[in-house]
Structure 1
């Protein structure tokens, strides 16, 4: 096994995009208690979960658990990134207020091409961090 195999960047970025695009839906499914608190350094802090089931049916509980588990994986991967990458990915995929790419690169005071290069690098780093590289696609 090669430690650093050649990565298919296009397919890897597509996989990351598909996963992070579901983040807002996962938050709604998991419920308010799973919404992470984001510090000034864009560090995600998760509230401790309680295992109370209440009067809910099993499919709803399973869906909520799956969503909460996926959120935990995403948050753990995000916290392994540097502040710049966390902020970029948060603004693009996780902020409750959807912002267009044009508004994002204007907010970051960078050209469109530089924004996409930086976003691509952040996505690859996220893929490396997520579950020890589970999202990486080898050539």
Structure 2
């Protein structure tokens, strides 16, 4: 019998989320501008589904681009399942084109350092639950 809510190894799960979201900016560059999600004022991500890409010569470029676009879609879908606060926190930390330090982030959010990390940890766990139906969750 499968347990719906198994005990989660929070540390390993957050590490997996961090590893995935840390690749976000690279995925954007690989996927190309046409696949970059637009972010609305309420941090809702919208994927551009334009498939009129010119034919590339090297299949590896096409495959890499397609894989990056697919991964962006998975991340976008997971982000859109989160509430606005979690989306904004994760966006500012991992996705904004202007890389910002954690110190600048918790000052921007008017939080103590410890509160910022607690809030970020919660957002990361919620993202792990949302990504591909919990694919990033690591059980104890």
Pair in the same fold by TM > 0.5:
yes
Q: Provide the TM-score with structure 2 as the length reference.
A: 0.97
Which residue pairs with 1:89 in the alignment? 90
Contact 1:29-1:64 within 8 A present in 2 as well: yes
Task: Give the total of aligned pairs.
Answer: 139
Which residue pairs with 2:72 in the alignment? 71
- In structure 1, stretches of 5+ residues that fail to align are none
C-alpha distance in 2 between matches for 1:104 and 1:3? 34
After superposition, residues 43-58 of structure 1 pair within 5 angstroms as 43-50=44-51, 52-58=53-59
Contact 2:56-2:62 within 8 A present in 1 as well: no
Superposition deviation, residue 53 in structure 1: 4.6
Match of 1:97, SS? coil
Distance 1:121 1:55, change over 3 A: closer
C-alpha distance in 2 between matches for 1:55 and 1:44? 27
Of 82-91 and 50-59, the range deviating more from structure 2: 50-59
Structure 1 consecutive aligned stretches of length 4 or more whose deviation exceeds 2 Å: none
C-alpha distance in 1 between matches for 2:5 and 2:130? 14
Which residue pairs with 1:14 in the alignment? 15
Aligned CA-pair RMSD: 0.9
Q: Provide the TM-score with structure 1 as the length reference.
A: 0.98
After superposition, residues 30-45 of structure 1 pair within 5 angstroms as 30-45=31-46
Which residue pairs with 2:132 in the alignment? 131
- In structure 2, stretches of 5+ residues that fail to align are none
Of 15-24 and 44-53, the range deviating more from structure 2: 44-53
